[in-house]
Amino acid sequence: MRGGLERSWTGTPPPPPSIGGMLEIRGLTRRFGDRTAVDDIAMTVPSGELVGFVGGNGAGKSTTMRMVMGVLEPDAGQIRWNGAPVTPADRRRFGYMPEERGLYPKQPVLAQLVYLGRLQGLDAGRARRSAQELLERFDLAARGGDKLESLSLGNQQRVQIAAAVIADPRLLVLDEPFSGLDPTAVDSMAELLQDHAARGAGVLFSSHQLDLVERLCDRLVVLHAGRVVAAGTVEELRTSAGVRHRLRTGSDASWVRGLGWLQVDDVHEGSAVVRLADPEDSDRLLREAAGRGRVYELSTVVPTLAEVFREVAA
Ligand SMILES: Nc1ncnc2c1ncn2[C@@H]1O[C@H](COP(=O)(O)OP(=O)(O)OP(=O)(O)O)[C@@H](O)[C@H]1O
């Protein structure tokens, strides 16, 4: 009784039980013939974190995820779960959404979700309840009896994610879960991933939608040609890429190209974006600009995630 009163005074609900664990990848390598698709990568997906996995086409994201799930064997390296090599039993508690998807097009939606829930260890009643809850969450309750192939692609995608999360996974490994979704479905997918992370699951998802990655992720890992070329929080990546300065003047600003002590990223009419070797050089730049006419603005610009990505994955 007393405990209950104390809880209501603080207004803080007890934290949800943590269900997660930590995924660690070390030295992971996979070759196809003479092409090295994944080249000595290291990364972690801690419990409760949303980790975005980004990289251009062919960077090695799907290959890495397939090795995490045991669909492909690594040529070298280790995949560890809670400090020990990952086992098939661990993987049964991972939810996976493969790039090639992989549900049964001719089977009714609800029946196959229940079947997949049972394969992942749920009893029949719990599998049915979870499947129905997930279909309701995605506004698909009325479509449970329909064949998967009769749903739109976006709705099939929602069923795919339902299949990945039905048995309360410790870790979610999702290959492009947002591709092909309309903005409402993107929001419910994002909310679902955040709910799982809040309950302690680690979530690793690949995406080409950098705005979404920036909005959702605690951390991200950038792959290029099979190697990790950047990793950290969005803030860390943006600030480590180097601050730029934007100059806006009343006349053509292309004279900045003649200054040997800065690097020019962009010039367009009266506006220029430059990088200074030394932040103190901003005074020097201002004097140069003022000597040539009116100055409207000299400000610092932190690069967007898309700009960082273009730089590291060039
Ligand atoms: N089964 C395979 N046989 C031969 N090469 C493969 C195979 N699977 C992947 N590759 C090659 O490995 C490299 C990495 O591919 P992967 O699918 O992992 O990249 P990705 O980052 O997921 O790309 P995307 O964003 O286009 O899905 C590519 O060069 C690809 O052609």
Residue nearest to atom 8 of ligand 1 (CA): 63
Q: Could you list the residue range(s) of the whole structural domain that residue 151 is in? A: 23-233
| 126 and 218 inside one domain | yes
Ligand 1 centroid distance, CA of 66 (Å):
11
| 132 and 273 inside one domain | no
CATH code for the domain in which residue 308 is found: 3.30.70
| 37 and 186 inside one domain | yes
Q: Is residue 48 part of a domain?
A: yes
Q: Is residue 95 part of a domain?
A: yes
| 73 and 191 inside one domain | yes
Residue ending a domain, among 186, 206, 233, is 233
Determine the residue of 35, 43, 62 to mutate for testing ligand 1's pocket, defined as the one with the most ligand atoms within 8 A of the Cβ atom. 62
Ligand 1 centroid distance, CA of 228 (Å):
15
| 150 and 283 inside one domain | no
Q: Is residue 11 part of a domain?
A: no
Q: Is residue 46 part of a domain?
A: yes
Q: Taking the chain (314 residues) in consecutive chunks of 10 residues, what is each chunk's mean pLDDT?
A: 39 54 96 96 96 94 97 97 94 90 89 92 94 92 95 90 93 93 88 93 94 91 94 86 88 94 92 88 94 94 84 78
| 131 and 192 inside one domain | yes
| 248 and 164 inside one domain | no
Q: Is residue 15 part of a domain?
A: no
| 206 and 179 inside one domain | yes
DSSP 177-209: TTTT--HHHHHHHHHHHHHHHHTT-EEEEE-S-
Ligand 1 atom closest to Cα of residue 38: 14
Q: Is residue 14 part of a domain?
A: no
Chain centre to alpha carbon of residue 127 = 28
**Which helix H or strand E contains 35, and what residues bound it?**
strand 35-45
Residue nearest to atom 11 of ligand 1 (CA): 37
Determine the residue of 25, 29, 36, 61 to mutate for testing ligand 1's pocket, defined as the one with the most ligand atoms within 8 A of the Cβ atom. 61
Residue nearest to atom 17 of ligand 1 (CA): 62
| 150 and 47 inside one domain | yes
Helix (H, G, I), strand (E, B) or coil at 47: coil
Determine the residue of 29, 32, 209 to mutate for testing ligand 1's pocket, defined as the one with the most ligand atoms within 8 A of the Cβ atom. 32
Where are the extended beta strands (E) located within 148-285? 171-174, 202-206, 219-224, 227-232, 244-249, 262-268, 271-276
Q: Is the ipTM of this complex over 0.85?
A: yes
| 190 and 94 inside one domain | yes
| 164 and 43 inside one domain | yes
| 271 and 179 inside one domain | no
Q: Is residue 1 part of a domain?
A: no
Can you tell me the distance from the alpha carbon of 127 to that of 97, in angstroms, rounded to the nearest whole number? 18
Residues with CB under 6 A from ligand 1: 32, 35, 37, 55, 57-63, 99
Q: Count of domains in the chain?
A: 2
Ligand 1 centroid distance, CA of 248 (Å):
44
Ligand 1 centroid distance, CA of 229 (Å):
17
Q: What pLDDT, on a 0 to 100 scale, did the predictor assign at position 181?
A: 87
Residue ending a domain, among 179, 214, 233, is 233
Residue ending a domain, among 169, 200, 233, is 233
Q: What pLDDT, on a 0 to 100 scale, did the predictor assign at position 257?
A: 95
Q: Is residue 226 part of a domain?
A: yes
Ligand 1 centroid distance, CA of 15 (Å):
40
- The CA distances from residue 148 to 136, 144, 154, 188, 290, in Å, are 16, 9, 11, 20, 66
Ligand 1 atom closest to Cα of residue 208: 25
Ligand 1 centroid distance, CA of 58 (Å):
5
Residue nearest to atom 31 of ligand 1 (CA): 58
* Cα angle 228-234-239, degrees, rounded to a multiple of 5: 95
CATH code for the domain in which residue 140 is found: 3.40.50.300
